[in-house]
């Protein structure tokens, strides 16, 4: 009988654990815990900003739609996406119709660096005096 009471008490204690306690059980390393926690925070911000952007463009029946400036929310949304390594797609010709910049290959970049090294201005300093010492001078004695 006593064993059954102890088991019930242990089950109650396990149920009282919050999400942070479960995170502590999952990983003992503090850095890993913070990494997991920061991922959940970023996911929360992503869901929040995505929801606000969606509500700005979708009308819900019997619910007044408020028109807000989505610039800040969109920048938060793209910033969080970038923190996960996701880049937003861009149009082929850009927003203003300009062509995207040409991609430079590694060989082209090395050729440009080599040409710049040979034609870049350089300064040569030639010291024509005999032994030279670069050192601080001693302070003159006070009179």
Closest CA to 105 of 113, 97, 93: 113
Contact partners, residue 77, CB within 8 Å, separation at least 6: 46, 49, 50, 53
Q: Is residue 36 part of a domain?
A: yes
Q: Is residue 53 part of a domain?
A: yes
Is residue 23 one of the residues assigned to a domain? yes
Structural domain for 29, as ranges = 18-87
Residues 83/42, Cβ–Cβ less than 8 Å: yes
pTM of the predicted protein model? 0.48
Question: Is 41 within the bounds of a domain?
Answer: yes
Please give the tally of structural domains in the chain.
1
Instruction: Give the pLDDT confidence of 38-74 residue by residue, as tens digits.
Output: 899 999 999 999 999 888 888 888 888 777 888 999 9
59 lies in some domain: yes
- Specify if 116 maps to a domain: no
Cα 23–Cα 37–Cα 11 angle in degrees, nearest 5: 20
Residue 46, pLDDT score: 94
């Amino acid at each position: 009988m006593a064993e059954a009471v102890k088991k019930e008490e242990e089950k109650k204690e396990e149920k009282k654990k919050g999400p942070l306690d479960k995170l502590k059980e999952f990983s003992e390393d503090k850095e890993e815990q913070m990494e997991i926690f920061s991922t959940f925070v970023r996911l929360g911000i992503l869901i929040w900003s995505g929801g606000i952007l969606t509500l700005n463009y979708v009308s819900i029946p019997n619910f007044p739609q408020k028109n807000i400036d989505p610039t800040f929310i969109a920048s938060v949304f793209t910033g969080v996406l970038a923190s996960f390594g996701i880049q937003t797609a861009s149009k082929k010709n850009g927003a203003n119709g300009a062509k995207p910049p040409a991609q430079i290959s590694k060989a082209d970049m090395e050729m440009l660096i080599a040409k710049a090294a040979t034609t870049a201005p350089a300064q040569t300093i030639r010291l024509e005096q005999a032994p030279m010492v670069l050192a601080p001078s001693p302070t003159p004695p006070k009179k």
